[in-house]
Structure 1
Amino acid sequence: MIKTLYQSRSISTLIRVFQSNPSRTLNTHTPTKTPSSPGTSLYSGIFKNPDPKVSIVPLLDQWVKEERSISVEELRKIIRQLRKFRRVKHALQISQWMNDKSFLDLTSADVAIQLDLIAKVHGVEKAEEFFNAMPISSKDFRSYGALLLCYADAKLLEKAEAVMQSMRELSYMQTLSYNVMLKLYSYCGKIDKLDSLMQEMEDLDIKFSKFTYNIILNAYAEASDIDQLEKLLTKMEADPLVTMDWNAYVVAAKGYLRILNKVKALESLKKSEQLVAVSSRKMAYEIYMTMYARIGNKEEVHRIWKLYKSHCKFYNMGYLCMMSSLAKMDDIDAAHKVYDEWEVKKATFDIQLPNFLISCYCKKGQMEKAESLCQKLLDNGNEPNGGTWTRLAFGYQKQKQMEKAVEALNKSILASEPGSKLYFPVLDACLIYLKEREDLDRIEHIKGLLAERGHDYTHVFERLATYSKEEMNADNKAFDQTEGDEHTLEKDLLEVEKEVRN
């Protein structure tokens, strides 16, 4: 059970909305000690302790015990930074520690942040308990909004709709709240709900933000609802409060590609290029390369690549985008030339690039080239990781070279991070191969390696023990037909595009 401020004391004594002083210090005594340098600041003390298993509460207690000055605003800043770096456990510890101080006035925003942190650390049910424990008089649009966001993040549509209805009745719905619900409806595929929410916003004179438009535009593109997409684009272009940006037309291009209308997709990308600011060039060019590749226009891909090299500082992602774009157009040799250029540039090593190229060769069945690239990594002192060997194992399995597949599987397990997920189809195929040959020693060896690296695949071995030869042959045939989709070139291409967007 989480200890919350509502379990230890009345919220009314701690939250004085619109009356608290955010800069008020935590200690009630005149401070006699202050940090003399950044190295002795509370901020630096917290951020040099990244282990989530180690509590930072003792550090906070010691700071106050030594009567060092600390403001509420400084704690809020630290919480913001911890959330930014996804150190949510430590952020929650500070939030709860603040709540325990009887001399501290908290705002409703502080409480809303704590609710969000509880959901991230302990789950939605605990956040729900926290919210329900609050007196009705202490709940405002921030706490309701935080709960709505918790439900939306957990994809709990019915609960989110119930909170939204309560917020309507209390006149708490704002642009951000509508954006949350629009995003959730889009995720759940309830496109019909978008129009009614948009109409509701217009009836209540709630302004559309750029994010409102982008959420709806993305939803129409995903649903291939081109009529609605084009109507929304027209509305955005006519709205004097909306500044059209390059990303809107990229989304439109994706929608057109879903219905295989390459002409309109190309037109949208050209419009997008006209709106790119200097500060956005890097991201935009990386996206354009992948988009023109999806259209199949190699000339445009090379044109953007030249612009990228002329105007942008080079990062590994730029090379990876160009490699993936060329691979998407089935020009693996050209992708390898870009890889060679990356090596010559002496850029910071990134295993993603050789792994991507190895994926390309394995999918094509060009195992000698994949092996050569892996050997080159070793010769240059760059150790292949678990993903490298898994890709090779997949390639060998696809080519029916099962002895090599088993060897690569063993190496992938040894190189894997403890507790990480392995590629199940290759593991299954290798174990089936060994069982057919009654090679129990090597099965036990793989089982031992998995246990040593912290992987729990007990269910795989239990299933293997009851397999008949007919079932094994059926599984092998089914696996051959699917070609192990999870580590195909297509997945690697999608991963590149996802990383570009992030």
Structure 2
Amino acid sequence: MIINRCRNRIPFSSNLTLLKSFSTTVEESNITAEFISPAPPKQTANEKRLYRRLSALGATGGTVTETLNEYIREGNFVKKDELERCIRELRKYGKYYHALQIMEWMDKRDINFSNTDLAVRLDLISKVKGIPAAESFFNGLSPHMQNRNTYGALLNSYCKSKMAEKAFALFKEIEAKNFTTSLSFNNIMTLYISLDQPEKVPPLVEEMKKRKIHLSTFTYNIWMQSFSLLGDIEGVERVFEEITRDEKETCNWTTYSNLAGAYVKYNLREKAESTLKLLENEIKRPSREPYHFLITFYSTLNNRDEVHRVCNVLKSSFEITSNVSYRIILQALAKVKDLEGVKKCFEEWESNCTYYDTRVANVVIGGYLKHDMVDEAELVFHDAVKKSKGPFVQTLALFMKHYIVHQQMDLALKCLETAAAREESDWVPHADSIEAFMKHFEQEKDVENAEKLFKCLKRLNCVDDKVYGLLLQTYVAAGLTTNSDVRERIEKVGIVVTPELENMIKKVCSN
């Protein structure tokens, strides 16, 4: 066992994003760490009340402007740092739209933005409005505001969107302006990981060392991840040894999380559990994230006792158990097949929740469906419909996938049709599901349902040449021809007729 004990360190926050089968601790704010403020002091009662109102907007349907204006009319004074803390928390839980609305509310009231604020705003714009809007915002900044922070935010947006050409071009510009920091390298390394090119990460780390650029905690984490993805567990351990050598400040609970993730991935159970104990010892201040990782790792190791123990520690450590925590706990209980525990935990959440989060219900529904408990899953769904306005597209997708696996294609298609009729998300079915539908209809020579599926996919804007090809294969299998102008139908939606598709068209029009 190569683990050395780190001294007390202050851990940074991290969402539960276990990339590439638990190989690293990667989180939204980590990659933009250099333009995010340090963790704030404990919130006052007024701040908590304001944040709770803002965080509930997704369920209540109100707006940020209405909420803030009403809060002020009640006699409360809102400080900039209080709003910044609300923004930080909303970003932490993926509520980017409302976080951006706060910044727009601040802008209208001429509240001065720091370089850090501008970078955060650019980051939020890219997530809510898209990359072109973020580029427009960046280009509209005065030259002195186009600095290390805002350049870093734009680079992060490119890397997140896997826009490699733009990312590499901007990285060169950052280098030319002497704005290069560990953040810039971290972004590019993360891009390489997302492009399935982990072998390009270690050379970048060596370049950083050569140029004496500081290796941050995230740098070490992504470096460890690259070795894990390459199947080099000894490389992972070498990086860990370097981190712990001389008790570097970069060592914290996330370091152990990355090491444990590699051990879990390669089924090194004893090493994984020893590392998880050390991870738990590194939790020095109240933070839900490390407990989320512990619970998830123990569930992957099928250690039911440890799942229950850490769940209880998490609940007792905080005044309120968040919806995110409940989702993590429920996922873990389902994974270790404690379905009675799932039921009790879900009932506990329902009795305490301030608003009905359908994502929590979806975890329970998904858990039941994995164990073929369809009746129980349907009961939760019907109850959720009574208590919430949705969204339910992801719920329908869970049932659809279950029915596909069990070859109940009529029910699966009904779920898809219902989902396609809703306008509450940009969800599209996975390509594997589409192919499973079409292959079934081809085998059954069921042109009618193949056309129904096609209409659903067209409504969801996910029709391409492959979908047309699969549809035409069903016609061929059924020995049918179509009098419609197939080519015109295809070209009308802007799809290029490939040679393969051309052959299918000829078959359908000649049979």
> If the length of structure 2 is used for normalisation, what is the TM-score?
0.62
Alpha-carbon distance in 1 for matches of 2:412, 2:350: 28
Task: Give unmatched runs, 5+ long, in structure 2.
Answer: 1-67, 70-106
Whichever residue aligns with residue 447 of structure 2, its letter is E
> Is structure 2 residue 501 aligned with structure 1 residue 461?
yes
Match of 1:304 among 321, 330, 345: 345
2:132 alignment counterpart: 89
Deviation at residue 229 of structure 1 after TM alignment: 0.5
Query: Do the aligned partners of residues 283 and 399 (structure 1) sit closer, same or farther apart at CA in structure 2, a change above 3 Å counting?
Result: farther
Alpha-carbon distance in 1 for matches of 2:280, 2:423: 54
2:48 alignment counterpart: none
Residues 72-108 of structure 1 show CA distances to partners (whole Å, capped at 9, x for unaligned) of 6464453243245363333334434446x3xx37654
Alignment of 1:388-399 (within 5 A): 393-394=437-438, 397=441
Aligned partners of 2:490 and 2:497 also within 8 Å: yes
SS at match of 2:208: helix
Aligned partners of 1:293 and 1:325 also within 8 Å: yes
Alpha-carbon distance in 2 for matches of 1:381, 1:149: 33
> Is structure 2 residue 309 aligned with structure 1 residue 271?
yes
Match of 1:191 among 192, 209, 233: 233
Alpha-carbon distance in 1 for matches of 2:422, 2:119: 46
Deviation at residue 331 of structure 1 after TM alignment: 1.3
Match of 1:220 among 263, 282, 285: 263
Match of 1:314 among 340, 353, 356: 356
Query: Do the aligned partners of residues 401 and 352 (structure 1) sit closer, same or farther apart at CA in structure 2, a change above 3 Å counting?
Result: farther
Alignment of 1:127-206 (within 5 A): 127-134=170-177, 139-169=180-210, 170=212, 172-206=214-248
Deviation at residue 302 of structure 1 after TM alignment: 1.4
> Is structure 2 residue 258 aligned with structure 1 residue 248?
no
Aligned partners of 1:416 and 1:453 also within 8 Å: no
Query: Do the aligned partners of residues 414 and 448 (structure 1) sit closer, same or farther apart at CA in structure 2, a change above 3 Å counting?
Result: farther
Residues 254-304 of structure 1 show CA distances to partners (whole Å, capped at 9, x for unaligned) of 4324xxxxxxx2112112211223544422332333333333333222122
Query: Do the aligned partners of residues 110 and 243 (structure 1) sit closer, same or farther apart at CA in structure 2, a change above 3 Å counting?
Result: same
Aligned partners of 1:82 and 1:90 also within 8 Å: yes
Aligned partners of 2:445 and 2:477 also within 8 Å: no
Alignment of 1:473-492 (within 5 A): none
Residues 16-50 of structure 1 show CA distances to partners (whole Å, capped at 9, x for unaligned) of xxxxxxxxxxxxxxxxxxxxxx99xxxxxxxxxxx
Aligned partners of 2:404 and 2:436 also within 8 Å: yes
Deviation at residue 448 of structure 1 after TM alignment: 4.5
Alpha-carbon distance in 1 for matches of 2:268, 2:424: 47
Deviation at residue 460 of structure 1 after TM alignment: 4.2
Aligned partners of 2:253 and 2:282 also within 8 Å: no
Alignment of 1:16-35 (within 5 A): none
SS at match of 2:214: coil
SS at match of 1:330: coil
Whichever residue aligns with residue 224 of structure 2, its letter is L
1:285 alignment counterpart: 326
> Is structure 2 residue 332 aligned with structure 1 residue 294?
no
Aligned partners of 2:358 and 2:388 also within 8 Å: no
Deviation at residue 329 of structure 1 after TM alignment: 0.8
Query: What number of residue pairs does the alignment pair up?
Result: 388
1:482 alignment counterpart: none
Return the index of the structure with the highest Cα Rg.
1
Query: Do the aligned partners of residues 164 and 217 (structure 1) sit closer, same or farther apart at CA in structure 2, a change above 3 Å counting?
Result: same
1:209 alignment counterpart: 252
1:486 alignment counterpart: none
Residues 193-217 of structure 1 show CA distances to partners (whole Å, capped at 9, x for unaligned) of 2111111011142232232222222
1:19 alignment counterpart: none
Whichever residue aligns with residue 126 of structure 1, its letter is A
Aligned partners of 1:402 and 1:433 also within 8 Å: yes
Alpha-carbon distance in 1 for matches of 2:146, 2:415: 58
2:396 alignment counterpart: 354
Alpha-carbon distance in 1 for matches of 2:447, 2:305: 51
Deviation at residue 175 of structure 1 after TM alignment: 1.9
2:446 alignment counterpart: 402
1:123 alignment counterpart: 166
Query: Do the aligned partners of residues 159 and 249 (structure 1) sit closer, same or farther apart at CA in structure 2, a change above 3 Å counting?
Result: closer
SS at match of 1:314: coil
Aligned partners of 2:225 and 2:258 also within 8 Å: yes
Deviation at residue 251 of structure 1 after TM alignment: 2.9
Alpha-carbon distance in 2 for matches of 1:223, 1:304: 31
Higher relative contact order (CA closer than 8 Å, sequence separation 6+): 2
Alpha-carbon distance in 2 for matches of 1:210, 1:248: 10
Deviation at residue 403 of structure 1 after TM alignment: 2.9
> Is structure 2 residue 474 aligned with structure 1 residue 433?
yes
Query: Do the aligned partners of residues 189 and 366 (structure 1) sit closer, same or farther apart at CA in structure 2, a change above 3 Å counting?
Result: same
Calculate the aligned-residue CA RMSD, in Å.
4.4
Deviation at residue 185 of structure 1 after TM alignment: 3.1
Query: Do the aligned partners of residues 249 and 91 (structure 1) sit closer, same or farther apart at CA in structure 2, a change above 3 Å counting?
Result: same
1:415 alignment counterpart: 459
Aligned partners of 2:119 and 2:153 also within 8 Å: no
Aligned partners of 1:194 and 1:216 also within 8 Å: yes
Alpha-carbon distance in 1 for matches of 2:308, 2:197: 39
Aligned partners of 2:198 and 2:226 also within 8 Å: yes
Aligned partners of 1:390 and 1:408 also within 8 Å: no
Alignment of 1:39-118 (within 5 A): 73=115, 75-85=118-128, 87-98=130-141, 101=143, 104=144, 108-117=148-157
